Structure 1
Amino acid sequence: MVFDRPVSTSSQISKKLFRDYSWLFFIICSVLALQLPITQAHAQLLSTDTTNNTEQAEPEWANDSLGRRTPRGTVEGFIKAVANEDYDKAAQFLRLDPDLQDDMDGAALAQSLQRLLDQNGRIFPYSQISNDPGGLEDDNLGPNLDRVGTATVNGETFNVILEKTEGPDGGPIWLFSSQTVQRVPLLTEEEATGSVVDRLSPRFLRETKWGGVPIAHWMAMLLLVIGAYLLAWSITSFTLYTLRLLWYKARQEATAGIIRAFALPIKIYLAVWLFVVASEQVGVSIIVRQRFSEVTIIVGVAAILLLIWRLLDATTRFTERRLTRRNNMAGVSAVLFLRRAAKIAIVVLGFIAILDTVGVDVTAGLAALGIGGIALALGAQKTVENFVGSVTLIADQPLRVGDFCKVGDIVGTVEQIGMRSTRIRTLARTIVTIPNGELASTKIENYAHRDRFWFHPTFGLRFESTPDQLRFLLVELRAILYAHPKVSPTPARVRFIEIGADSLNIEIFAYILAKDFDQFLEVQEDLYLRMMDIVEASGTGFAFPSQTLYIARDQGLSKEKGAEAEEQVRKWREAGEMQIPSFNSDRIQNLRNSISYPPEGSSQQNGRAT
């Protein structure tokens, strides 16, 4: 016997109760529920019973005195009759072959069917049996047949089938089909002595009955519950210990949390499965199992929803700890909100599933919830959009609290990322609040994550500058970049790029190593001043716009400095040390960090900086 689908938890039972008192929970529930065909439970969760989904027309015929108008009524009536040991009445739920009816003992057949179901059979929970006079229409058995259980005779398993017949008033009467009855073996004297429970129990426990069942069966159920739980606990504990011993990932935080989440639901599920198999093997009465069959489905519902609940806790707590280590409080808030919402959904789903299991029509309630949900979603459209935007911001993390960024036309520092909006303090010290839905779809430029700052000026020099003066500038300006400790040497370039309309243009391209924008401005200022000194030392100067009337004021170029620069270039040529078009590695290595920074005379260099 295999369970295909465990099912959910009651919304009223907390995780701690399951963890600390799982054995008590299992004993109580399993005593009431002996078997669950999980494929049927799966159908119960995914599709609504025909009785609950369709409006039935009022019958034109009177009620049957035995309640045989529906398959469920027939099964319930048969179970009640055999519980009262009224086998003549129970025989009226069997369809006997008219040709052999005189030769067949209906009461004996009813008792044999009970014994077969006690020891080698099962009946589906009542909620899985149709309560529609027409029966189930999608079971591939035809319009007049319904499957209500299984039984095994001589190692061969067959379906227990109900067949719809026509009563004296023309109304439907559901009976155990003649094919099913024919496969029921009559009791022998040895079989009549009872099941394993009956043979091993004292006489007074067999003769004393409660609810139509010997006390021995109730006591056997209790012992089986305890034994099944202890065996399931032993198997689960050994498996977890072995898993942690052989698989190193099982000892890591994330994987260990997932394994712990599976442990309790699997323990409950395994214990119920062992209990069901054992109760069938020892022949616990079908009366007991069927009386509490609905609880079996509820136990399955409890198992699956408990698993989802614990997995949700494990994953969200792991995520919460990671976000806390990153100081992402907005992310923590979102995770907590989503966890609460998911738990509410789990509780609602479990409550609906349990109500549906016990026969309450939940169709109208679900329709009302659907209409209300649509109305709420339409009314809170912007709120939902902002919430989804906040989840996107937290998951993608384009910005964090404290980041200096540009959002659209707004430049400032992020002060708070909330569930609805984000607050940015601008350079004018005002606060701008941006809805998260809008922020998530806006272009964001985040300055906080850059590892270096781009230094990219273009110097326009006077047209009177000679080529040797330009060569002097190219060499000395590159030397400054290579020598400066706050400038990355790769790439660090200075190139004569253009003869412009009113100047000779030299482009400087480098990255400044600075931890923030303020430090970048400090280094940039130092570079500009040093480069201005180099331009002045070259004997040339920065170009003025051609529209400016500067001729009368122009003092001309310095012939002395120009001659010095040309002499220096000549020496470089003669010595073969012209570092054009690029510096050699030895020269770069000699220049590295040869500039004193902060510059001499600076209060920081003298240790007087605060």
Structure 2
Amino acid sequence: MKAGLALIRFLIAMIALALASLAGAQTLPGTEPLPADTATAPAPDPFGRETPRGAITGLLRALADGDYLRAAQYFPAEESPEAETGSETSDDGTDALAADADSQPDVDRRAELARKLQIALDSGGSLLAFPLLSNEAAGVVDDGLAQNLEQVGTLSSEENAAPILLQQITATDGSMQWRIALETAEEIADFVPAEAVEETITDEDIAVAGAPLIDWLKLIALALLAFAAFRLLTALLMALLRRAIAEHDTSPVYRFLHAAMPPLSLYLAVLTFYATAGDLGVSIVARQTLLRYAAIVAWIALAWFALRLVDAIARVVTGQMHRAERRQAVTIVSFLRRGAKVFLLAIAFVAVLDTVGLDVTTGIAALGIGGLALALGAQKTIENLVGSVTLIADKPVQVGDAAQIGEVFGTVEDIGMRSTLVRTLNRTLVSIPNGYLASERIENYALRDRFLFHQTIGVTYDTDAKQMERLLGELRTIIADDGHILDDDARVRFHGFGDSALQIEIFAYFNTRSYPESLAMQETLLFAIMRKLDELGIAFAFPTQTIHLQNDIVG
């Protein structure tokens, strides 16, 4: 039950972490109102006790280093848990109590409590994983505890269990600090007997990064075993599906599962590791360190899963759109796929940065402060992005269209977020920035609803008026009898007297949207015209000159 509850909390926190980080960035540093009695903000706490996450992280680092004097700074002083009167810190981050002979017994007491806490956590206690710890100065305000209390873990033994609480206090410099609550300090003293402390002092285990080497090996083995088990299970499942689904390559269900299984195996392995690591009885330092970085792996797995899922859905939808000949939908799906992947990568990047402890809020705020410079530097990128949106909205060209774009003629192969790819007749691939494309003249040949047949025939001047009238009538009959020609605009007219021919204009439209079909129709019509002129004995004219020579004979 305990592991299941922790697992649910971990899942909720993993989903909300990136959104919380982004939401927190909307309040710029320094915009909070100052207290009425404070002229300037307190200096940063050298021990990082401003937030529950900072306090636990600093405490674990001190325990890993074996520096129990520094770890004592995270425990309440003997005088009062609400107002520290003897915990002033110097500029170099050392506690003044360490140099005060009168306060030395209190420092020793707190150092011993820190050692006992480590023993209690190593022997079955637990702390919340790094993503679950609040990184806000006020902590979690809706957890049902007092406003100045925060639960960060649990002390467990065979007989009973007790929560590990932090309490927010006011230091002498006016800053707010989170320390182990007084009631938790009393529980720690009762949980671990003095002889247990003596046993840890004489322990000769090989230590790595503040924890026994064997503990690191146990946790790493657990993680690898969990991942191998889930990969094996998913491989068996996919093998069964390949046998059960005849055409699995085209099955949407199979393609979805094929895309989801590798990252899902990694993510489930992380969840299993999180739920079972506490049962190994290993050092809290090793456990919390690997759980922290397991959260990074979980975010990577989630991002990997989402990216593969987006690609799988896009492939299925694109295939359906191709079969339905909805080329504009293919362009939109391609654009949305790229946009979704960029958005998912941004969320994962922010979440990973937050997990490793970087101040995401400050970084995003810095982007806001430098927004003007960023906009100027990315002017072309923004222009191309807007251009791609314009192309998708206005639909001047679609994927698969043959078009003349400026001086480039070819077939549109892809409309991306930055540029459009055009395959030319020479089979070269031309990349045209969408910002330029949105403002350029585009002639889309694929949108023609009919094809023009416009020919001017020249016959020789040996053709008399009667022959010409008969020829025009025969040609009009040929046009009228052709089932591929639209009758509303078709015409055959004696056009004029050329330099070397009598000119006949034929104007008509073929009722087709296919360019290859129009070429076949045009060829058939031209052969019919040639045969008719041969039948009537009328010759095509070609440029000729007739020279008349006059000989004047002088007698």
* Corresponding position of 2:29: 54
Change (3 A) 1:365 1:238: farther
**What percent of counterpart residues are identical?**
22
The Cα shift of 1:163 comes to 0.7
Contact 2:72/2:113 (<8 A) preserved: yes
The alignment status of 1:390 with 2:395, answered yes or no, reads no
Alignment TM-score, normalising by the size of structure 2:
0.55
Separation (CA, whole Å) in 1 of partners of 2:67 and 2:171: 22
Show CA shifts across 1:436-477 (max 9, x none). 65899x9999776689xxxxxxxxxxxxxxxxxxxxxxxxxx
The alignment status of 1:270 with 2:268, answered yes or no, reads yes
* Corresponding position of 1:476: none
* Corresponding position of 2:358: 359
* Corresponding position of 1:130: 135
Amino acid paired to 2:358: G
Task: Specify every segment of 5 or more residues in structure 2 that has no aligned partner in the other structure, as ranges.
Answer: 35-39, 81-104, 424-434, 452-476, 485-509, 536-555
The alignment status of 1:75 with 2:56, answered yes or no, reads yes
* Corresponding position of 1:591: none
* Corresponding position of 2:277: 279
The alignment status of 1:232 with 2:230, answered yes or no, reads yes
* Corresponding position of 2:14: 41
Separation (CA, whole Å) in 2 of partners of 1:314 and 1:352: 25
Contact 2:76/2:181 (<8 A) preserved: yes
Structure (1 or 2) with the larger CA radius of gyration: 1
| 1:48 match: secondary structure | helix
Amino acid paired to 2:149: L
Give the 5 Å matches for 1:58-457.
Answer: 59-60=41-42, 68=49, 70-83=51-64, 93-95=74-76, 110=114, 113-118=117-122, 119-125=124-130, 128-130=133-135, 132=137, 135=139, 141-150=145-154, 160-167=164-171, 171-181=175-185, 186-187=190-191, 207-246=205-244, 250-252=248-250, 254-315=252-313, 347-357=345-355, 358-360=357-359, 361-367=362-368, 370-371=371-372, 383-392=384-393, 400-401=401-402, 416-417=411-412
The Cα shift of 1:48 comes to 2.8
Change (3 A) 1:225 1:399: closer
Separation (CA, whole Å) in 1 of partners of 2:420 and 2:14: 41
| 1:207 match: secondary structure | coil
The Cα shift of 1:241 comes to 2.9
Separation (CA, whole Å) in 1 of partners of 2:216 and 2:119: 17
The Cα shift of 1:146 comes to 2.9
Contact 1:4/1:39 (<8 A) preserved: no
Contact 1:45/1:353 (<8 A) preserved: yes
Alignment TM-score, normalising by the size of structure 1:
0.51
Contact 2:211/2:285 (<8 A) preserved: yes
- Greater relative contact order structure (CA < 8 Å, 6+ sep): 1
Separation (CA, whole Å) in 1 of partners of 2:44 and 2:385: 54
| 1:387 match: secondary structure | helix
Separation (CA, whole Å) in 1 of partners of 2:312 and 2:303: 14
The Cα shift of 1:43 comes to 3.6
| 2:402 match: secondary structure | coil
| 2:256 match: secondary structure | helix
Contact 2:400/2:411 (<8 A) preserved: no
Between stretches 274-283 and 74-83, larger displacement belongs to 74-83
Between stretches 342-351 and 296-305, larger displacement belongs to 342-351
| 1:227 match: secondary structure | helix
Separation (CA, whole Å) in 2 of partners of 1:112 and 1:224: 27
Contact 2:42/2:174 (<8 A) preserved: no
Contact 1:70/1:131 (<8 A) preserved: yes
Show CA shifts across 1:337-370 (max 9, x none). 8767765665555444433332243123432575
Change (3 A) 1:141 1:282: same
Give the 5 Å matches for 1:524-535.
Answer: none
Separation (CA, whole Å) in 1 of partners of 2:396 and 2:188: 63
The Cα shift of 1:377 comes to 8.1
**Aligned residue pairs, count:** 427
* Corresponding position of 1:505: none
Separation (CA, whole Å) in 2 of partners of 1:169 and 1:378: 47
| 1:284 match: secondary structure | coil
The Cα shift of 1:121 comes to 1.7
The Cα shift of 1:211 comes to 3.1
Contact 1:390/1:420 (<8 A) preserved: no
Change (3 A) 1:77 1:234: same
Change (3 A) 1:228 1:81: same
Amino acid paired to 1:37: F
Change (3 A) 1:72 1:437: closer
Separation (CA, whole Å) in 2 of partners of 1:250 and 1:96: 67
Amino acid paired to 1:114: Q
Between stretches 363-372 and 279-288, larger displacement belongs to 363-372
Separation (CA, whole Å) in 2 of partners of 1:76 and 1:345: 30
Task: Specify every segment of 5 or more residues in structure 1 that has no aligned partner in the other structure, as ranges.
Answer: 6-34, 199-203, 404-413, 424-433, 452-479, 488-510, 527-596, 605-610
Separation (CA, whole Å) in 2 of partners of 1:229 and 1:421: 41
Contact 1:2/1:38 (<8 A) preserved: no
Contact 2:387/2:438 (<8 A) preserved: yes
Amino acid paired to 2:368: A
Amino acid paired to 1:391: I
The Cα shift of 1:235 comes to 2.2
Change (3 A) 1:242 1:154: farther
The Cα shift of 1:266 comes to 0.8
Separation (CA, whole Å) in 2 of partners of 1:384 and 1:218: 48
The Cα shift of 1:217 comes to 0.7
